[in-house]
Amino acid sequence: MKKKCIVIGGGFAGLSSAAFLSSIGYIVQLLEASPKLGGRAYSFLDNKTNTVLDNGQHILMGCYKETLNFLKLIGAEKNLLFQDKLEINFIKENYQLVPLKSIPLFYPLNLLFGMLLFKAVSFANRLKLLKVFLKLPFYSTKRLSRMTVYDWLVKEKQDEQVMEAFWKILAIGALNTNIKNASAKMFVDILKEIFLNGNFAAKIILPKYGLSKTYCEPAKSFIEQNGGNINLSSQVTELVINDTKIEKVVTTEKVYDDFDYVISAIPHFALEKIFADGSIIDNPELSYSSILNIHIGLRENPLTKNFYGLIGSPVHWIFNKGTHLNLVISDADDLIKKDDE
């Protein structure tokens, strides 16, 4: 007898759980509150310009092992653009283009020597940068857990120039948090995943199409072809629990009581709404920071690279989408709070 599983939430996490479970014989019922799949990573048609826009640019990296397994499973790997080797082009204040790229040597020398050629910072600073990367495997997680990224960089003698031209852009991009608030442990863990796991882990991967076409549509087809069912506009409002077992899943549409497992693939703030009395989960003290994406339509496009990192600019990244540019500002709470003027 096949086991039945309810998956709550149709973002990346819910779709990947549903796809994996349906591929190994579970009967999956996915419940998504909104009328579309994708959660915080989706695309939509902008009627004014007749252009498909992502809600926000998403990059993946080779080290996203499970995400890539999911995309491969649903046949969406072909919708991704893989870099041949790590290459990030930075633009300095004077519009000078400064590449940071892996050079033709064996891993990890290709990355380490690539860093030595990163001309956005002085040679002395490149050596200091290199020193941090050489120490990367040996950092103690325990000590870092008490530090911010900024404290850690100061301790590693990284000066203002290298913070501005390298660390801030990387850390804000990875953590969406100002380096004076962001956790050094989390950042170093991410650096280890990216830089200590071979060439592929450090490659940047971009979706070729809008996010919905890139992974939501293939995931939906895959789940349905494997006997799963997806209900949109179906918000879970209550979980009826007896002792430690979920007996009913109540949605705005219907009550489900015939299942073996329930997977919650919704963010903690959405889960808190289901357990509004606070009885089931401890509310950790978490705060959020925003990412602002600005889409600029183009008549002509003079840019040749897929994306650029900006040094010393309030805009952190520019993604070149051919018909338009996507400007990304991470940790954008201050801007979001400003009035529209």
Residues of the shown chain interacting with ligand FAD in the complex, contacts defined by CB under 6 A: 8-14, 31-34, 39-41, 55-56, 58-59, 235-236, 265-267, 270, 274, 291, 293
CB of 261 to ligand FAD, least distance (A): 16
With H, G, I as helix, E, B as strand and everything else as coil, classify residue 276.
coil
Closer Cβ to ligand FAD, 22 or 125, answer by number: 22
Backbone angles phi, psi at 249, to 5 degrees: -115, 115
DSSP per-residue letters across 126-163: HHHHHHHHHHGGG--HHHHTTSBHHHHHHHTT--HHHI
The residue among 241, 186, 189, 226 whose CA lies nearest residue 73 is 226
How many whole angstroms separate alpha carbon 40 and alpha carbon 45? 16
CB of 11 to ligand FAD, least distance (A): 2
CB of 60 to ligand FAD, least distance (A): 6
Closer Cβ to ligand FAD, 33 or 219, answer by number: 33
CB of 149 to ligand FAD, least distance (A): 18
What does the buried/exposed string (b/e) look like for 219-244 if buried means 16 or more CB atoms within 10 Å of the residue's CB? bbebbeebebebeeebbbeebeeeee
CB of 67 to ligand FAD, least distance (A): 8
Q: Helices then strands (H, E): number in the chain?
A: 14, 18
Closer Cβ to ligand FAD, 158 or 234, answer by number: 234
Closer Cβ to ligand FAD, 129 or 201, answer by number: 201
Closer Cβ to ligand FAD, 8 or 28, answer by number: 8
